[in-house]
Every structure is written in C-alpha cells, then in structure tokens.
Amino acid sequence: MRFPNYNKVSHVIATCFGVGSIPFAPGTWGSLFAVLLISNLTFLQDWIILVAFLVVASSWWVCIEVYKDTKSDSSEIVIDEFAGMFVACMFINHDLISLTFAFLFFRFFDIVKPWPISWIDKNIKNGPGILIDDLLAGLFAGILMLAISYVIS
C-alpha cells in the first residue's frame, strides 16, 4: 500500500493533515505545527497535560494502524514529532521564547538521538516504536527546559 493513503483517517492524522508531505524536513514541520497550535490556541495551554495525554494516546493508535499498513516508519509520518512537542510543552511556559527553545531542544534530541533515544530508535520497530523515541525526546527537551527555568529564576 502506498503511503499516505488519504482515504484512511489514520494516514491523514499520521501526516498531520498533510504537513508530513512537505518534501524538506517533514519532522521539523510536524514539530512546528504543534508549536503553532499550542501558541495560538489558549485552551491548549490551559489544559496542556490533558491535551498532551490525548495527543499521545491518539498518536499511539495512529502509529499502530499506519504500521499495520506500511510496515515502515515513513518520513511523512510526523504525528510522532507532533506528540513529542506536546510532551515537551507540558514543562514550560507558553511564551514565544520558551516555545522556541523547547522546539529547538526537541529537534536536537530527535535528530541527534542520544542514548537511550538511539537504543529505542534502533531496537523497537513497530507502531509504538515510531512514537516512543519522539516521546522520550520531548521528555528530555521538557526536563532541560524545566532545569533551565529553575537555574535562571
């Protein structure tokens, strides 16, 4: 089956409604899509922990469904970066500077993949495996942001 199949809801969501089809750096665009939503929709900021939980849970389902269809982690699947950014944003204020640094730190951890992110990326090859490394990158970025805010305050 060719991915994405836009007749399948899971594929539409996996690409964040087509964002993942941007040909250059789709993961970065998927992460930026999350930041733009969080920065512009106040209710997401007010309910970030609940919304992040819902995003992670729905992303889990989407990644499982897409993996059943494709048996791969296509670069067009960006729901994992989207969910990872929501995890990172659970730890921060939602001002422009904090969101910018959370985005940069998340992309750093997602691209460089320090241990244990690299271990997960190499060893878990299924639907949840698409997602777990990005959730951990989001957790690393969020904790780093929390540590920085503690040090500077």
Q: What is the pLDDT of residues 57-114, one digit of tens each?
A: 999 999 999 999 999 999 999 999 999 999 999 999 999 999 999 999 999 999 999 9
Q: What is the pLDDT of residues 1-11, one digit of tens each?
A: 578 899 999 99
- Model confidence band, residue 42 (pLDDT cutoffs 50, 70, 90): confident
- Model confidence band, residue 153 (pLDDT cutoffs 50, 70, 90): confident
pTM greater than 0.85: yes
From CA 76, how far away is CA 133, in angstroms rounded? 16
Q: Where does the chain have alpha helices with state H?
A: 9-14, 26-40, 42-46, 48-70, 79-89, 96-112, 117-123, 127-152
The label of the residue with tokens 């048996």 reads 71
From CA 116, how far away is CA 139, in angstroms rounded? 12
The answer to whether the CB of 105 falls within 8 A of the CB of 141 is yes
